[in-house]
């Protein structure tokens, strides 16, 4: 394939939508309300929890779309792990330690995704899953119920959102400040 052909070739759907969608996830996950009002720890772990939660929310919304969503359900977590790898390296973690840490984060992400998926039909189970995962360092996670309400509101809004809007990098997440 000539260089010109590759230059003008369009990206597959998943690749085309990946960057703006991932940026929207990061923007939402960094909302100050999670750390100020929801009691999520403003630490690397707390920020990872919010990023992983929002990646999960979009993956679970896109997965049933099949071919219409392209490779996004696979590409979003991969992108998150690439960015985490890059961030660890920028923060001075040795090259030999990065793969081990990213693998651990991947295991944590997929474990949490399974816990959230298993609990999504029952608010009480979702509260428990969030308490165990996002608020694991707190004896009494007072805000797990509010975060569960936020997650359920996001699921409802994302389910109602047009796929075209999501693929254009405009997922309709709930406003964390509006969830009581």
Mean pLDDT of 82-110: 82
Note the pLDDT of residue 15: 67
Q: How does residue 140 score in pLDDT terms, banded at 50, 70 and 90?
A: low
pLDDT above 60 (res 34) = yes
Note the pLDDT of residue 47: 93
Q: How does residue 58 score in pLDDT terms, banded at 50, 70 and 90?
A: very high
pLDDT above 50 (res 53) = yes
Mean pLDDT of 73-92: 87
SS3 string, the chain, reads: CCHHHHHHCCCCHHHHHHHHHHHHHHHHHCCHHHHHCCCCCCCHHHHHHHHHHHHHHHHHHHHHHHHHHCCHHHHHHHHHHHHHHHHHHHCCCCCCCHHHHHHHHHHHHHHHHHHHHHHCCCHHHHHHHHHHHCCCCCCCCCCHHHHHHHHHHHHHHHHHCCHHHHHCCCCCCCCCCCCC
101 vs 47, residue with greater confidence = 47
Q: How does residue 1 score in pLDDT terms, banded at 50, 70 and 90?
A: very low
Mean pLDDT of 77-92: 85
| C-alpha closest to that of 121 among 60, 54, 39 | 60
Q: How does residue 120 score in pLDDT terms, banded at 50, 70 and 90?
A: confident
pLDDT above 50 (res 7) = no
99 vs 27, residue with greater confidence = 27
**pTM: predicted TM-score of the whole model, two decimal places:** 0.86
pLDDT above 50 (res 94) = yes
116, 123 in Cβ contact below 8 A?
Answer: no
Domain ranges in the chain?
3-167
pLDDT above 80 (res 51) = yes
């Amino acid at each position: 394939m000539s260089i010109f052909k590759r230059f003008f070739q369009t990206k597959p759907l998943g690749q085309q939508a990946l960057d703006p969608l991932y940026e929207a996830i990061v923007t939402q996950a960094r909302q100050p309300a999670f750390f100020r009002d929801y009691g999520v720890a403003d630490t690397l772990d707390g920020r990872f929890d919010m990023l992983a939660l929002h990646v999960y929310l979009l993956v679970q919304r896109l997965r049933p779309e099949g071919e219409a969503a392209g490779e996004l359900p696979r590409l979003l977590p991969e992108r998150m792990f690439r960015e985490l790898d890059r961030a660890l390296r920028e923060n001075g973690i040795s090259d030999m330690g990065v793969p081990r840490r990213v693998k651990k984060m991947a295991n944590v992400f997929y474990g949490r995704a399974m816990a959230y998926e298993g609990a999504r039909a029952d608010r009480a189970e979702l509260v428990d899953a969030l308490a165990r995962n996002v608020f694991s360092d707190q004896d009494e996670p007072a805000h797990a119920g509010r975060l569960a309400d936020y997650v359920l509101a996001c699921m409802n809004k994302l389910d109602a959102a047009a796929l075209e809007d999501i693929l254009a990098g405009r997922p309709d997440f709930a406003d964390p400040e509006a969830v009581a």
